[in-house]
Amino acid sequence: MTTATRQLSESARAASASESRYRIDVPIAPARAARVIALDERAAAVARHLAERPWAHARFFTADRPFGPEGRLRRLAGGGAAGGRPGAGGSEPPSESGAMAPGEMPAAPPGWVAAAPPDTVPDVPLDEALTGSDVVVVLATEDGGRDVAAAIGRFCGRRGITTAGVVLGDGFEADDAVAALRPYARVLLLSADESDAFELLTALRV
Amino acid sequence: MLRKDINELLTQTGPGSPMGELFRQYWIPALLAEELPENDCPPVRVKLLSERMVAFRDSEGRYGLIDEFCAHRGASLWFGRNEGSGLRCPYHGWKYDVSGQCVEVPSEADNSSFCQNVQLTSYPLVKIGDLLWTYMGDRATQPPLPEFEWIHVPAEQTYTSKRWQQCNWLQAFEGGIDSSHVTFLHSGGLKTDPLFKGAKGNEYNMNDTKPFFEVADSDGGLFVGARRNAEEGTYYWRITPWVMPAFTMVPPRGDHPVHGHFWVPIDDENCWTYSFDYHPVRALTDTERQAMIDGHGVHSKNIPGTYRPMANMDNDYLIDRAAQKRGETYSGVAGIAMQDASLQESMGPIVDRSKERLVPADSGIIKARQKLRKAAIALRDEGVTPPGVDPEHHRVRSAAVVLPRAESFLDSCRDAVRVTPGVPQSSV
Ligand code: FES
Ligand SMILES: [Fe+2]
């Protein structure tokens, strides 16, 4: 099973470990301007947690309720420096997601609906929040966010923004939200946890 | 993208490595039963999870998988004489039984008990279906035998081949849950391959090149659903199950036999791809079986007497740019198996995943890596038995179905993705 010493073709030589040394090695710039939108309280707690990481171009939002026809999102602090609060996040690389207690869902902060938590900045309309983005990741744990999910899906569909849905928890409580997202979301991660959302964002280089 | 250290964790399967220990929790294919066709046949070299062994079938038909090297002075037992219920090293005549126990040291006195203290490492080797399976972990935690449907249907309903793939197991396996490449790389095969063509589902496949994906946990791993537009108000779903660590099935097409793979690390830079086809309720036709032998479908045409594909990296995979121009193949490489293998091998022996640019459509792969990593760490740190060890987890099927748009594939296909003996696959 060792590599043939007599290599007959370009393919064999090119695929060898020694040839990997000559691959062009340039830093890969973060490729995507992501918006992460939490549709409900428990999802917002996850989003808030994720937003603390040092992303380059991700911005985090929660969908206000009731969503209303003009559809406003609440910006969470943190996220990418390219639009986040200066100094938000940090410079150390994201640690292994296992450190984030995968599977655990942070409890919803009290008064989430009633008043903006202290770490948020003022509301923005949906289209303003999504302008300039090329991938939207929607986090949901229950059906409360059904209308928002549909509105985001339609908006992204029109603008050619790739949409991904991450359904946190066992998913049964989010059937309607999933159904609302299904026509638009290029991918739905079902029965996901916080670490899945983290891995997705990391893999997408946001 | 994946951090370098996680890439190493997932790709290294030698003894003592976290992924290596994970693989050692499962029964895995060691070789095809045809490689040991009769009692006292020649022994076969087997390398798995970076351990070198020989497999042999003794005078009583018992199978053995033991350390390749003689305990005396390290000659390879591949040269061994398989005779009189054991494998005898031809150098100085030491002899071993299928459990690796030394049973004779000719240089010792006739009634010497010395040989009782000489025991080569050995692993169980059991024939199930057309394969010989081994379990390389701790004997105390040896799980029940595997129950995948393809190895339990009657012999006339199933066919398995294998091929040597010159890259790490993970990049080969990832192709098995990557439904979005089919419309491109394998587009030629959907039209012409005798084991693929003619299914209604192929039209949906070709008419909608931008599938949507849903990824859901299963008891043993994942279900990856790929959705394409079908008729008005409906979607065509292709559901790919993955059972940890390395079993994947391809969603069926029409009444063609159902195929799938088991990806087995040889060492960190090579793997065996076991490819199977079976039909849950009928015998394979002669034409189908011949097509499989000829390397169609997921199978490969191998160099006679070996499990190395005829089209391989030493001959540039016999790439045919004219056939590509004519539209017969998408990449110029013929055959589904080598279309996959050529590209996976072209990434290099172990692809550097820190250089990837993944997209949401790669979520199945992202999730699978995550599950492997979590399982390897939970096993290492807490001794948690990983998903896919319980044979109950093996009883899954792939499915291809047309569903009303509002329906969730998981809810609608609960029965379709479970093995029900006597019931055909759900297929379009
Ligand atoms: S398009 Fe997927 S590897 Fe190039
Ligand atoms: Fe493929």
Chain A residues 148-177 with a CB less than 8 Å from chain B? 162-164, 171, 175
CA-to-CA separations, B370 to A32, A84, B12, B79, B271, in angstroms, rounded: 21, 28, 15, 43, 21
Residue A79 pLDDT > 90, yes or no?
A: no
pLDDT over 50 (residue A12): yes
Residue-wise pLDDT tens for chain B (428 aa)?
899 999 999 999 999 999 999 999 999 999 999 999 999 999 999 999 999 999 999 999 999 999 999 999 999 999 999 999 999 999 999 999 999 999 999 999 988 999 999 999 999 999 999 999 999 999 999 999 999 999 999 999 999 999 999 999 999 999 999 988 988 999 888 888 999 999 999 999 888 888 999 999 999 999 999 999 999 999 999 999 999 999 999 999 999 999 999 999 999 999 999 999 999 999 999 999 999 999 999 999 999 999 999 999 999 999 999 999 999 999 999 999 999 999 999 999 999 999 999 999 999 999 999 999 999 999 999 999 999 999 999 999 999 999 999 888 999 999 999 999 999 999 99
A118 domain-assigned: yes
Neighbours of B384 (CB within 10 A): 13
Residue A42, in any domain of the structure: yes
Cis, bond preceding B37 (omega within 30 deg of 0) = no
Element spanning A177, H or E: helix A175-181
Residues of B with CB below 8 A from A180's CB?
A: none
Q: How far apart are CA A60 and CA A51, in angstroms?
A: 6
Give A70's pLDDT tier (boundaries 50, 70, 90): low
Residues in B touching A206 (Cβ below 8 Å)? none
Say how many Å lie between the CA of residue B377 and the centre of ligand 1.
Answer: 30
Q: How far apart are CA B299 and CA A99, in angstroms?
A: 42
Angstroms from A117 CA to nearest CA on chain B: 30
H-assigned helices in B321-408:
321-325, 336-346, 363-382
Who contacts A52 (Cβ-Cβ below 8 Å, separation ≥6)? A78, A89
Beta strand A34-38 with A135-140 is parallel
Sign of CA dihedral B381, B382, B387, B388: positive
Is residue A4 one of the residues assigned to a domain? no
Residue showing tokens 């549709």:
A39
Pairing status of strand B87-88 against strand B81-82: antiparallel
Q: Indicate which of B8, B215, B272 best probes the interface with A, i.e. most A CBs within 10 Å of its own CB.
A: B215
- What local confidence, expressed as pLDDT, does residue B419 receive? 97
Sign of CA dihedral B280, B285, B290, B296: negative
3-state secondary structure of B119: strand
Tokens of A175: 């059937």
Q: Does the residue A97 lie in any domain?
A: no
Q: Which residue of A has its CA nearest to B319?
A: A11
Residues B145, B149, B151, CA angle at the centre, nearest 5°?
A: 65
* pLDDT at res. A181: 87
Expressed in percent and rounded to 5, the helix, strand and coil fractions of chain A are 30, 20, 50
Among the bound ligands, name the one nearest to the CA of residue B365. 1
pLDDT at position A110 over 70? no
Q: How far is CA B219 from CA A63, A191, B216, B263, B386, in A?
A: 33, 12, 10, 20, 10
**Do B313 and A190 count as a contact with CB atoms less than 8 A apart?**
no
DSSP state of B318: G
Residue A1 forms contact with B (CB below 8 Å): yes
Residue A12 lies in a domain: no
What pLDDT does A89 receive? 34
Reading the block at residue B80, the tokens are 């061994």
Structure tokens at B337: 């198996």
Q: Which residues in chain B have Cβ-Cβ distances shorter than 8 Å to A8?
A: 314-315
0.80 surpassed by pTM: yes
User: Hey, which residues 100-129 in chain A have their CB within 8 Å of chain B?
Assistant: 102
Q: Could you say which ligand is closest to the alpha carbon of residue B178? A: 2
- Asked if B358 and A203 come within 8 Å (Cβ–Cβ), the reply is yes
pLDDT attached to residue A85:
37
In a domain, A152, yes or no: yes
Provide DSSP, A136-154: EEEEESSGGGHHHHHHHHH
Q: How far apart are CA B134 and CA B104, in angstroms?
A: 26
Which structural domain range is residue A68 located in?
A: 34-84+113-203
Tally the domains of chain A.
1
Confidence of residue A7 (pLDDT cuts 50, 70, 90): low
* Residues of chain A with C-beta less than 8 angstroms from the C-beta of B346: 11, 14-15
Give how far Cα B206 sits from Cα of A40, A181, B227, B350, B401, Å.
38, 24, 12, 32, 16
Q: What is the C-alpha to C-alpha distance for residues B168 and B13, in angstroms, rounded to an integer?
A: 10
Partner-chain contact B363 A195, CB within 8 Å: no
Question: What is the DSSP code string of B272-302?
Answer: EEEEEEE-SSSPPPHHHHHHHHTT-TT--PB
CB contact under 8 A, B346 and A199: no
Q: For position A154, what pLDDT does the model report?
A: 92
Size of interface A-B (CB pairs under 8 A): 123
C-beta separation of B65 from B122 below 8 A? yes
> Has residue A21 been placed in a domain?
no
Q: Cβ–Cβ of A19/B316 closer than 8 Å?
A: no
Spacing, Cα B356 to ligand 1 middle (Å): 10
pLDDT grade for A120, boundaries at 50, 70 and 90: low
- State in Å: Cα B340 to ligand 2 middle: 5
* C-beta atoms surrounding A1 within 10 Å: 12
- Cβ distance of A204 and B360 shorter than 8 Å: yes
* Helix-then-strand count for chain A, H and E: 7, 7
Residue of A nearest to B407 (CA): A179
Does A131 contact chain B (CB < 8 Å)?
no
Cβ separation B214–A187 shorter than 8 A: yes
CB–CB contact B1 A11 (8 Å): no
Considering the domain boundaries, does residue A137 fall inside one? Answer: yes
| Model confidence band, residue A68 (pLDDT cutoffs 50, 70, 90) | low
CATH number for position A163: 3.40.50
Q: Is A205 on the interface with B (CB under 8 A)?
A: yes
* Contact between B288 and B277 (Cβ < 8 Å): yes
Please tell me the predicted confidence (pLDDT) of residue A115: 37
Per CB-CB distance under 8 Å, the chain B contacts of A200 are: 360, 363, 366
Sign of torsion over alpha carbons A121, A125, A128, A129: positive
- Is residue A17 packed enough to be buried (19+ CB in 10 Å), middle (13-18) or exposed (0-12)? exposed
A8 vs B314, B352, B374: nearest CB: B314
Q: Which amino acid is at A8?
A: L
Please give the radius of gyration of chain B, using alpha carbons only, rounded to the nearest integer: 22
Distance B181 CA to ligand 2 centre (A): 7
